[in-house]
Amino acid sequence: MAETVGFIGLGIMGKPMARHLANAGYDVVIHTLNRETISTFTAESNKFIAASTPKDVAERAKTVITMLPDSPQVREVALGENGLIEAMGEGSLHIDMSTIAPATAIEVSTALAGVGAHALDAPVSGGEAGAVNAALSIMVGGAESDVERAMPLFEKMGKTIVHVGASGAGQVVKACNQVMVAVNYAAMSEALILGAKAGVDPEKILQVLGGGLANSRVMELKGQNAISGKFAPGFRVDLHRKDLNIAMNAGKTTGVPLPVTALVQQFFEALTVAGRGDLDHSSLITIYEDLAHYRIGQDLEA
């Protein structure tokens, strides 16, 4: 009989991740806020089974993955009314793959342990392309035996899977990841606006910088977005802004000043204030364009 797994949160990332599990032969019990998405999935394959609440998912699946926007949604789905905790017990495993505060990951894991269930924090990097190509990097916090149990699932969705420490450690590493990505975007944006306003074709800047030490995954995957003014998400500005807040809080509680991150965080705040929170995070370049009174791409497009 096919193994059953629960999946809650079918957004940009959750959709392809859940599809990989179904394609690998799992029966996938699904729940998300958008009813139309549920209907699309159940019409697409009989491997998808609709559930009405997180509790309903946990009643039908011993292992439940969540891929939700932020800490409040994970807390609500795991611990709220009709949450996972109402149906989880001995032998249950919650794998949260969302990006949330490390403290919330520990809170959820501790609460679930109170009913005999286990939890992993397993946030991901690699973006929508990584999710679609089952090539995500997955940074996992929790007990070794739970990581071993979850590994066959992780291998269907990701390529680089590293057990980084105890509960909460996965989210700490994801905060490190988001710091590096945001600062990379800022560096690329700053360089491109300098070259383009000085009169150089930005395509040529990308081409030649791509062959030297300045090259980065950010430039390879999102350089074209940055210079074209086409910013369909991808990864929404509002989600990256949330992640930088998580990183700044982690810096505060750990006693680590993050001065460069603090500056870039303010640029993300400015994007949201400018009404660009739903654009892809490559739209960070538009703040530099505003500052330089110079636009490389065409009008902003979502």
Q: List all residues 6 or more positions away from 285 whose beta carbon is below 8 Å from its beta carbon.
A: 185, 188, 189, 192, 193, 226, 227, 296
**Span interacting with ligand NAD, options 193-201, 205-213, 217-225, 234-242, rule CB under 6 A:** 234-242
> Is 55 a known active-site residue?
no
Q: How far is the CB of 170 from ligand NAD (least distance, A)?
A: 12
d(CA 236, CA 148): 32
Range list of H helices, the chain: 14-23, 35-44, 54-60, 71-79, 102-113, 127-132, 144-157, 169-197, 202-209, 217-228, 237-254, 259-273, 285-292
Residue of minimal CB distance from ligand NAD? 11
Distances (CA, A) of 249 to 103, 128, 265: 10, 26, 12
Closer CB to ligand NAD, residue 68 or residue 192? 68
Closer CB to ligand NAD, residue 52 or residue 110? 52
Q: List all residues 6 or more positions away from 127 whose beta carbon is below 8 Å from its beta carbon.
A: 221, 234, 235
- Among 15, 47, 55, 174, the active-site one is 174
What single string gives the DSSP state of each residue in 24-54? TT-EEEEE-S-HHHHHHHHHH-TTEEE-SSH
Q: Does 297 bind ligand NAD (CB under 6 A)?
A: no
Per CB under 6 A, contacts with ligand NAD among 2-21 are 8-14
Residue 34, judged by CB atoms within 10 A of its CB (0-12, 13-18, 19+), counts as: exposed
**Span interacting with ligand NAD, options 194-202, 232-240, 265-273, 291-299, rule CB under 6 A:** 232-240
10 Å Cβ neighbour count for 207? 11
Closer CB to ligand NAD, residue 54 or residue 202? 54
10 Å Cβ neighbour count for 205? 21
Q: Which of 59, 62, 69, 149 binds ligand NAD (CB under 6 A)?
A: 69
Q: Which of 87, 206, 239, 296 binds ligand NAD (CB under 6 A)?
A: 239
Closer CB to ligand NAD, residue 209 or residue 236? 236
Q: Which of 76, 86, 155, 290 binds ligand NAD (CB under 6 A)?
A: 76
Q: Any idea which residue has 């000043």 for tokens?
A: 257
Q: How far is the CB of 115 from ligand NAD (least distance, A)?
A: 20
State which amino acid sits at residue 175. A
Closer CB to ligand NAD, residue 168 or residue 202? 168
Per CB under 6 A, contacts with ligand NAD among 87-126 are 98-99, 124-125
**What is the binding site for ligand NAD (CB under 6 A)?**
8-14, 31-34, 67-69, 73, 76-77, 98-99, 124-125, 127-128, 234-235, 239, 243
Positions marked catalytic: 174
